[in-house]
A and B are shown apart, each in its own frame.
Chain A
Amino acid sequence: MRKVHLRFMYTIILFIAVMDGYASENHAAKTKTIPSYIEALNTRDWDGAMDALEKIGAPAVDQLITAMNEPSDGSAWKQRRAAQALGKIGSQKAENALLTALANERMNSHIHRSVAKALGNIGSSDARDALVKTCQDRSKNINLRATAVYTLANFPSKKTVELLTEAMKSGEMPIQYRAGEALAEIGSSEAVEALVDGLKINPTCIFDEAVREALVNLPTEETCDVLVSALHSERWTVRWSSAETLERIGEPAAIALMKALKDSDSLVRWNAIRLLGNLQSNRMITSLVEALRDDHWMVRNEAAVHLVRLNSMDAVDPLMKMLKDDNFKTCEKAAWILGEIGAKEAENRLIVMLQEKGPSAWMAAISLGKLRSEKSVERLVDGLKGHNLQIRRASAWALAQIISDESRFALKGASCDEDEEVRFWADMALVK
């Protein structure tokens, strides 16, 4: 027999074997028993087993109760998932077993929390009462109480909101965090108002996505004030989450952010100016220009970058006035923005600024270079001959951008300057 034929035969045999294997597997799947599903709760494929047990329903309850109550130490995955499955089945027998488990003081804390969650899923009045009792019993494990607090979101009512409001004031971090999450899950205006009140005491739960979403949906002045206040947090995640929420709220947050520009904390002012800038509205120009006078470099830098991004001619006049500001760092930023947005009308003011040779004159030279100002060449040549190294470098850079006979002539002389950078710009211009 030829080799090809043999291979063909082998393939057929393999195919039949595989089909047979598939058929046996399929048969086995159909005949899987409840104990095997319960055992599978302890494996990576637990979710499939959980679905199967939920479908089986009442006949699986007894064995699930036994599995949940099996002694365990460590993470107890099987027991926890058995509790979860009981919660999904939700029969009276399952509920009674879960209520008994919740009252059992000696139960593993991991299983206890799964029991609380399962009762939350069942959502009956008995389950609710048991969970409320657990929340309020300070002798219980704090993580169990926090889980119970969270499960109250499954029982949305005025009474629940009141309980959660109390929990937000408890002074216990895990409880406050979970109460915040539960109020956000409930999402009614009363719940979000209670959440905002709670955030005044502890803003940590802003980190939770559901909490942020709830705040975005109720962007009141108070919400914005609370979020701005959270920008003071020592934790970056809280600051970042508050800023992100304020950004999503958008224009309604502007007033709170403008107030924050007067805050004593430079990081709060920086975040405020960043968020106001991100609104990309000409209405923010005054605040952005004013922020160029801030004491902190981060605030000035952020405001300058946003003014360039806005690229609005409305900013030109106030910026030109700022070129005479007492603070040279403010003048520097104003000159940079004018150069970046190509404000030709600022040319004469920038030339004067360069001529005066103050500490920000170098930035005037840079901006004149960006404006390709031929009018300024004479002043730039003066700058190139001066003693101030930064003005010399900036003038050389600017002259290299403005290609004219006069600038070339001046740069020829600079190609033997003592400073390497001045020589570099002269050489760069001369080879153009």
Chain B
Amino acid sequence: MISRWTFNVCLLLCVFSCYIFCFNSLGNTSQTRLKQRIQAIAHPAQPNNSIDLPLYPDTLEGKPEIPSPYRAENGMEYLTVVTDASKYSLFPVTVKSGESIEPWNVPLEIDATDFPTLAKIGLHSEIELDAAQRITGRSIAEITELGRPGRLSSSGFLCEDEDVMSVIKGDNRLVKKLGLNHLQTATPLIHLCHMIRCYSNHHHSRTHIHTWKDQSYILYNGKKIFLEVTLTKGGQKSIFNDGDLDGAWGIKIWRDLDTNETKFLTERYNRLDENQRKSFVQKLSQMMLGEIVPFYIYRYGFYEGHTGWRADPIAIAFIFGLKSIGEIENTFPGKLDYELYRHFTNEN
């Protein structure tokens, strides 16, 4: 039997070893964190020179010398956010094809099996859509049934009179007319989702109902984008057979119209009464979506039907400054309200 004295000495030695181990690991972790926070980003005007910019949660007093969003030469992408205290934060928001989307562990990639042309050029081929009878191995009928109101979602992914192929086809035409492709329309939304993920990981608030508080607005192509996010425990399943997607966020995105935009729309749409115009402007400049939608747009070119959770491509183009209001109006002269409201049904 060991003596009491030997036991005490051993105990003290154990405590001391634990102390040394913990001290060293803590030190290493904080050093790594410090290194990760500061990124050397290639200067947009002088690519050979790099500028050291701190990433979120660190802030900058002045506006960083890079546009927002900014894609550096090494492919890294950053978004500038203005905080309530009028400081600037940089979020890493790189959109990388094939990367795993957390927490689903499902890769962000285009569904090349069902839509080879979408994978090649970012837009669907109409004849491929006409001939498609299934997506992700699931029949169009089953996807449509699951997507209707009161099934997997109480509001639905589609309206009762819509079907999934008509919606994909209708939106493909809209995006094509706008001179964009589905990757371009999905990217701003994926940027925002990456930013929210970064924010919620930092605040450990993945499973709490929560509203976006710290950030005042996001800069995107010179526009001020406002955001309100509700993080819940999840439960929203996907209508496609595409892995264990589990939607948990409600994301409200909007931006205010500037004076010229307001004047332009008032003049062009003077046939609408005040309430109609108000509702039309809201449709154009505001949207509510779940975090599965950017993934759907990227993967299938699916923006959801005309429910309250649709990410309309026209609204995306307008809110994120992908197209000016003049360009959008020229694409659908005098019919912008009609294009925002009309349902995509088999008869269209």
CB < 8 Å neighbour of B141 from A11, A297, A336, A397: A297
A309 contact set on B, CB distance < 8 A: 137
Q: How far is the CA of A393 from the CA of B23 in the complex (A)?
A: 69
Q: How far is the CB of A415 from chain B (nearest CB, A)?
A: 16
Q: How far is the CA of A333 from the CA of B15 in the complex (A)?
A: 74
Q: How far is the CA of A306 from the CA of B133 in the complex (A)?
A: 11
Inter-subunit contact A397/B16 (CB<8 Å): no
Inter-subunit contact B145/A8 (CB<8 Å): no
Q: How far is the CA of A11 from the CA of B23 in the complex (A)?
A: 11
B338 contact set on A, CB distance < 8 A: none
Inter-subunit contact A7/B141 (CB<8 Å): no
Q: How far is the CA of A267 from the CA of B151 in the complex (A)?
A: 13
Q: Mark A303-347, 1 if CB is under 8 A from B, else 0.
A: 011101100000000000000000000000100100000000000
Q: How far is the CB of B348 from chain A (nearest CB, A)?
A: 15
- B125 adjacent to chain A (CB < 8 Å): yes
Q: Mark A1-34, 1 if CB is under 8 A from B, else 0.
A: 0000001100110010000000000000000000
- A154 adjacent to chain B (CB < 8 Å): no
CB < 8 Å neighbour of A366 from B15, B131, B139: B131
From 104 to 118 in chain B, residues with beta carbon under 8 angstroms from any chain A beta carbon are none
Q: How far is the CA of A267 from the CA of B128 in the complex (A)?
A: 27
B140 contact set on A, CB distance < 8 A: 301
Inter-subunit contact B142/A274 (CB<8 Å): yes
**A236-B150, A270-B141, A301-B139 in contact; A12/B12 too (CB < 8 A)?**
yes
- B130 adjacent to chain A (CB < 8 Å): yes
- B37 adjacent to chain A (CB < 8 Å): no
- A298 adjacent to chain B (CB < 8 Å): yes
B23 contact set on A, CB distance < 8 A: 7
A425 contact set on B, CB distance < 8 A: 125, 127
Q: Compute the total of residue contacts between A and B using a CB distance below 8 Å.
A: 66
Q: How far is the CB of A397 from chain B (nearest CB, A)?
A: 5
From 123 to 156 in chain B, residues with beta carbon under 8 angstroms from any chain A beta carbon are 125-128, 130-131, 133-134, 137-142, 144-145, 150-151
- A424 adjacent to chain B (CB < 8 Å): yes
CB < 8 Å neighbour of A11 from B19, B128, B131: B19
Please classify the interface of chain A as helix (H, G, I), strand (E, B), loop, or mixed, using the class held by over half of its residues. helix
A302 contact set on B, CB distance < 8 A: 139, 141-142
A274 contact set on B, CB distance < 8 A: 139, 141-142
Interface size on B, as a range, is 20 to 34
Q: How far is the CA of A72 from the CA of B126 in the complex (A)?
A: 66
CB < 8 Å neighbour of B127 from A304, A333, A336, A390: A390
CB < 8 Å neighbour of A424 from B19, B125, B142, B151: B125
Q: How far is the CA of A8 from the CA of B23 in the complex (A)?
A: 11
Inter-subunit contact B16/A8 (CB<8 Å): yes
- A410 adjacent to chain B (CB < 8 Å): no
Inter-subunit contact B16/A421 (CB<8 Å): no
Q: How far is the CA of A236 from the CA of B145 in the complex (A)?
A: 10
Inter-subunit contact B144/A298 (CB<8 Å): yes
A298 contact set on B, CB distance < 8 A: 141, 144-145
**A11-B19, A301-B139, A363-B131 in contact; A397/B145 too (CB < 8 A)?**
no
Inter-subunit contact A304/B19 (CB<8 Å): no
Nearest neighbor of A306 in chain B, beta-carbon distance: B139
**A7-B19, A236-B150 in contact; A301/B127 too (CB < 8 A)?**
no
A7 contact set on B, CB distance < 8 A: 19, 23
Inter-subunit contact A304/B16 (CB<8 Å): no
Inter-subunit contact A336/B133 (CB<8 Å): yes
Inter-subunit contact B133/A397 (CB<8 Å): no
Nearest neighbor of B18 in chain A, beta-carbon distance: A11
Q: How far is the CB of B145 from chain A (nearest CB, A)?
A: 7
B150 contact set on A, CB distance < 8 A: 236
Q: How far is the CB of B180 from chain A (nearest CB, A)?
A: 15
Q: How far is the CA of A305 from the CA of B12 in the complex (A)?
A: 70
Q: How far is the CA of A185 from the CA of B59 in the complex (A)?
A: 60
A15 contact set on B, CB distance < 8 A: 15
Q: How far is the CB of B241 from chain A (nearest CB, A)?
A: 12
Q: How far is the CB of B38 from chain A (nearest CB, A)?
A: 29
Q: How far is the CB of A349 from chain B (nearest CB, A)?
A: 18
Q: How far is the CA of A393 from the CA of B131 in the complex (A)?
A: 11
A361 contact set on B, CB distance < 8 A: none
Q: How far is the CB of A319 from chain B (nearest CB, A)?
A: 14
Inter-subunit contact B19/A393 (CB<8 Å): no
4 A-B pairs closest in CB distance: A298-B141, A305-B139, A393-B127, A301-B141
Using a CB–CB cutoff of 8 Å, the interface residues on chain B facing chain A are 12, 15-16, 19, 23, 125-128, 130-131, 133-134, 137-142, 144-145, 150-151, 346
Using a CB–CB cutoff of 8 Å, the interface residues on chain A facing chain B are 7-8, 11-12, 15, 236, 240, 267, 270, 274, 297-299, 301-302, 304-306, 308-309, 333, 336, 362-363, 366, 390, 393-394, 397, 421, 424-425
Sample 23 A-B pairs with CB under 8 A, ordered by A number.
A8-B19, A15-B15, A274-B139, A274-B141, A274-B142, A298-B144, A299-B141, A301-B139, A301-B140, A304-B139, A305-B141, A308-B134, A362-B130, A363-B131, A366-B127, A390-B127, A393-B127, A394-B127, A394-B131, A397-B125, A397-B127, A421-B125, A421-B127
